[in-house]
């Protein structure tokens, strides 16, 4: 939730200015608006994930590992879940209205919600992972537009938007199509789901081994390779890490994050034994490393302390909520 909620906040922060100190001061001046954007993102996350649980309940029942989930177990009724999603979607517009009444920004938010809803309702019938990633990109655009500083006619602004939006899109696409497909390999195909992974033959053998075709593995490698290339291009050509006094440290952190991404990707792709608990921990480390890499490349735009805070908040949120709900820091109960 914290990562989703951070997307419009980062979108707004990127266009407040160039000099790190100036950006931080401006961000503090706009703190109420940024907090509201965070809350709006949290509500959109609630809408998307609760509706997804509601739509996928029959598929989830096919997995012995998911019997504890609220809808599968009957702890929450389908009607309660559906109303929760609907109310959360409505609250997105209420919160955004406090920040801006610009009709185009609200239209983009509506598009984000509709695209996310389409994925939730039809994502098990066809490989629509691109819709989920696109929904988060639209949420990013809501943040970009919300404070009125973004100028699409300015080449530098468009370069930042396309690069950072592209990095976010690739992260969410990989997270859902690749990691999500692997995580649910034990029951998606068995339940007749037509996800990206299921269509490409990802399944769990009777011996408990994760099996995928070359198409799935190669697409994962290509997806991650493009993301790493875009990270490096953004750092060199768009945000220019060399302008920072601490550029050596930042480059070291970026290379470390990319290395963790590569290692964890190799640990999740076959040949591996299907162990949902182990795989979810690897996914968590991989996503944190990917998010850290993105935060590093935008340091010249938002400042070191702002980037550090924005990285630590979702990391601690993720660990604390997992510990509270599921008893483990890196393993969500999904």
Question: Are 44 and 115 in contact, with CB atoms under 8 Å apart?
Answer: no
- Residues of the chain predicted below pLDDT 50: 18-22
Please identify which residue in the block is written with the tokens 């795989």. Answer: 279
Q: Which whole-number Å values give the CA distances from 325 to 72, 321, 334, in the listed order?
A: 17, 6, 11
* pTM strictly above 0.75: yes
Residues 6+ apart with CB under 8 A from 43: 88, 89, 91, 92, 95
Please give the Cα distance from 171 to 47 (Å, whole number). 20
Residues 6+ apart with CB under 8 A from 208: 273, 274
Q: Name the token pair of 96.
A: 């955004």
Res 330: pLDDT: 64
Please give the Cα distance from 139 to 144 (Å, whole number). 9
Please give the Cα distance from 289 to 309 (Å, whole number). 15
Q: What are the extents of the domains in the chain?
A: 2-326
Please give the Cα distance from 178 to 226 (Å, whole number). 15
What are 136-191's pLDDT values in tens digits? 999 999 999 999 888 888 888 999 999 999 999 999 999 999 998 888 887 776 66
Superfamily covering domain 2-326: UbiA prenyltransferase (1.10.357.140)
Q: Which whole-number Å values give the CA distances from 165 to 212, 275, 315, in the listed order?
A: 29, 33, 21
Angle at 1 between CA 257 and CA 53, to 5 degrees: 120
In degrees and rounded to multiples of 5, residue 18 shows phi and psi of -100, -50
Task: Classify residue 223 as exposed, middle or buried by CB count within 10 Å of its CB (0-12, 13-18, 19+).
Answer: middle
Residues 6+ apart with CB under 8 A from 278: none
Query: DSSP string covering 1-62, please?
Result: -HHHHHHHHHHHHTTS-SSHHHHHHHHHHTHHHHHHHHHHHHHHHHHHHHHHHHHTHHHHTT
Res 305: pLDDT: 83
Residues 6+ apart with CB under 8 A from 190: 62
What are 63-89's pLDDT values in tens digits? 776 788 888 888 999 999 999 999 999
Please give the Cα distance from 282 to 179 (Å, whole number). 10
Task: Classify residue 49 as exposed, middle or buried by CB count within 10 Å of its CB (0-12, 13-18, 19+).
Answer: middle
Res 133: pLDDT: 94
């Amino acid at each position: 939730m914290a990562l989703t909620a951070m997307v419009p906040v980062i979108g707004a922060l990127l266009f407040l200015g160039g000099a790190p100190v100036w950006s931080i001061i401006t961000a503090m001046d706009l703190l109420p608006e940024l907090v509201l954007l965070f809350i709006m993102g949290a509500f959109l996350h609630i809408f998307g994930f609760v509706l997804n649980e509601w739509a996928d309940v029959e598929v989830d029942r096919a997995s012995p590992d998911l019997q504890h989930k609220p809808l599968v177990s009957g702890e929450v009724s389908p009607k309660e879940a559906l109303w929760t999603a609907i109310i959360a979607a409505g609250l997105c517009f209420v919160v955004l209205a406090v920040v801006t009444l610009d009709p185009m920004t609200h239209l983009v938010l509506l598009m984000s919600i509709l695209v996310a809803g389409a994925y939730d309702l039809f994502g098990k019938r066809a490989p629509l992972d691109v819709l989920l990633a696109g929904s988060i990109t639209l949420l990013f655009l809501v943040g970009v537009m919300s404070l009125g500083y973004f100028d699409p006619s300015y080449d530098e602004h468009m370069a930042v938007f396309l690069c950072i939006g592209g990095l976010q899109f690739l992260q969410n696409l990989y997270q859902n199509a690749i990691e999500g497909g692997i995580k649910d390999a034990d029951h998606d195909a068995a339940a007749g789901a037509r996800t990206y992974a299921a269509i490409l033959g990802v399944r769990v053998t009777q011996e408990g081994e994760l099996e995928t075709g070359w198409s799935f593995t190669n697409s994962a490698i290509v997806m991650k390779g493009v993301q790493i290339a875009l990270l490096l291009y953004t750092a060199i050509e768009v945000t220019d890490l060399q302008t920072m006094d601490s550029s050596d440290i930042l480059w070291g952190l970026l290379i470390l994050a990319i290395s963790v991404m590569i290692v964890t990707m190799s640990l999740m792709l076959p040949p591996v034994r299907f162990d949902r608990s182990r795989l979810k921990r690897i996914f968590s480390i991989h996503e944190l490393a990917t998010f850290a890499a993105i935060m590093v490349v935008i340091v010249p735009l938002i400042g070191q302390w702002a980037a550090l805070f924005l990285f630590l908040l979702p990391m601690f949120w993720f660990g604390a909520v997992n510990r509270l709900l599921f008893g483990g820091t890196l393993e969500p109960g999904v």
